[in-house]
Amino acid sequence: MHTADPPTPKLRRALTAPLLTLYGLGVTVGAGIYVLVGATAEVAGPYAAVSFLIAALVVSLTALSYAELATRYPVSAGEAAYVEAGFQRNWIAVLVGLAVAASGVISASAVAIGAASYLHTLTNLGTTLLTIGIVSVMGLIALWGIAQSVFVAAVITIIEISGLLFVIGWGMSVQDPQGYAFSETFPGFEINAWRGIFAASLLAFFAFVGFEDMANVAEEVKDPVRTIPKAILLTLVLATGLYLATSITVLLVVPIDTLSTSTAPLALVFSNAPEVIKQGFAAVAVVATVNGVLIQMIMASRVIYGLADRDHLPKILASVPQVTQTPVVATLLVVALILLLTQTLPIGTLAERTSQIVLGVFVLVNFSLIFLKLKPDSTRQHFHVPLVVPILGVLTSTLLFGAGFL
């Protein structure tokens, strides 16, 4: 069981608030909007942007819960530590830890397929070969070291955000847009429209999978009590703004029948652009999506390391060589699993499974915070949210999980 004080960290505290925010933005922005805006539009039609807004509202409540829990227990395998403290049951902690690691592996697999689709437009090489190459190279970077890995991810994040701003700017300047009129992107009160919006919210939710990854590198954050809440909330605000602007732009410019079938949807905004613009954006999109693969690898390997370090998994998975100070065996296991999944399942299925796993974890994490708040608080100084926040987090996460069956 957890004691009041977190265990002494073994990993290097190297992450500041800007690096941690860029880390969160890197996985959130790269994993979602570059790959899945088309799939979301297929289900929600002209109201895809509303689906992103609903997903953001659901995520924001649970994000506040994570901000408190990550400052109570700033350790790797964060969710497992929170659930163990809240439920006082080891087996639930192990189950949640494995679910979080699985979500990272499955998410990285979906994003690797998206990255290969963008890279295919540049090289015309087979997507299978490209997917294997992407996963292998990102695995080598993840083995390199946390500060180096997150620095690489931070540089890439700046590139991918610039890419989204370019999509928005270019799309708004298109003389003859082929998509919906702006007024058509707001839903009325028709039941069928809202059914599609809520069903698509599960896919849109995948675009926000990432902020919780910041909790799983908490053991490597400088001054976690101040840094983690600031970085989590800033990541969500910036990602939501970018998503709404990008999804509306794409809906205005691209015909829905073309958009809904694309695994490289943002490239469609440049269909009438000069070839150099098309190629340049495809290169940015490759970099952006590859970033999501790297960050999910880092997260999943830290969760597996954290579980092994607490004797919930074989101890070899907790081995940290002095040279890299990274969990090498855990990272190699994650890379192998991602390679397997990219070759066996399609991107839509991978995205939906990721969302469902993460929402299930969100419900348990929010329940944990409710239980902890009902007990005397003997932990050291940490960030606080009102009790109503995790209660609403449970309700909204459960409702969004159910929306997937509409």
Contact 119, 328 (CB under 8 A): no
Report which secondary-structure segment, H or E, holds 241: helix 224-253
SS3 15: strand
Of the candidates 47, 9, 11, 8, the one whose C-alpha atom is nearest the C-alpha of residue 260 is 47
> How do the domains of the chain map onto residue ranges?
17-375
Neighbours of 192 (CB within 10 A): 8
Write out the two tokens for 329: 């065996």
pLDDT of residue 241: 92
Q: What are phi and psi of 221, to 5 degrees?
A: -100, 135
Q: How far apart are CA 406 and CA 404, in angstroms?
A: 6
Contact 249, 167 (CB under 8 A): yes
pLDDT in tens, 61-89: 999 999 888 888 877 667 778 888 888 88
Contact 289, 28 (CB under 8 A): no
Say if residue 148's pLDDT is above 70: no
pLDDT in tens, 302-333: 888 888 887 788 888 877 777 667 788 888 88
Q: Show Cβ contacts of residue 377 under 8 Å, excluding neighbours closer than 6 positions.
A: none
Say if residue 4's pLDDT is above 50: no
Instruction: Write the single-letter amino acid at 306.
Output: G
Which of left, alpha, beta for 326 (phi over 0: left; psi -120 to 50: alpha)? beta
pLDDT of residue 52: 92
Which of left, alpha, beta for 145 (phi over 0: left; psi -120 to 50: alpha)? left
Say if residue 8's pLDDT is above 60: no
Say if residue 157's pLDDT is above 90: no
List, in sequence order, every residue forming a beta bridge with 221; answer none if it has no partner.
15
Mean pLDDT of 28-53: 82
Say if residue 30's pLDDT is above 70: no
Q: How far apart are CA 319 and CA 289, in angstroms?
A: 29
Say if residue 346's pLDDT is above 80: no
Mean pLDDT across the chain: 82
pLDDT in tens, 250-295: 999 888 888 887 777 888 888 888 888 888 888 888 887 787 788 7
pLDDT in tens, 114-147: 788 878 877 878 888 888 888 888 888 777 766 6
Say if residue 208's pLDDT is above 80: yes
pLDDT in tens, 227-258: 888 888 888 899 899 999 999 999 998 888 88
Contact 213, 227 (CB under 8 A): no
Write out the two tokens for 216: 């799983």
Buried-exposed string 240-262: b where 16+ CB fall within 10 A, e elsewhere = bebbebbbbbbbbbbebeebbeb
Q: Does domain 17-375 have CATH number 1.20.1740.10?
A: yes
The predicted model scores a pTM of: 0.77
pLDDT band at 12 (very low <50, low <70, confident <90, very high): low
Terminal Cα-to-Cα distance of the chain (whole angstroms): 39
pLDDT band at 205 (very low <50, low <70, confident <90, very high): confident
Mean pLDDT of 399-403: 82
List, in sequence order, every residue forming a beta bridge with 124; answer none if it has no partner.
none
From residue 373, alpha-carbon distances to 2, 349, 391 in Å are 15, 36, 11
Q: How far apart are CA 237 and CA 202, in angstroms?
A: 19
pLDDT of residue 76: 64
pLDDT of residue 185: 84
Mean pLDDT of 335-353: 81
pLDDT of residue 118: 79
Contact 10, 146 (CB under 8 A): no
pLDDT of residue 3: 47
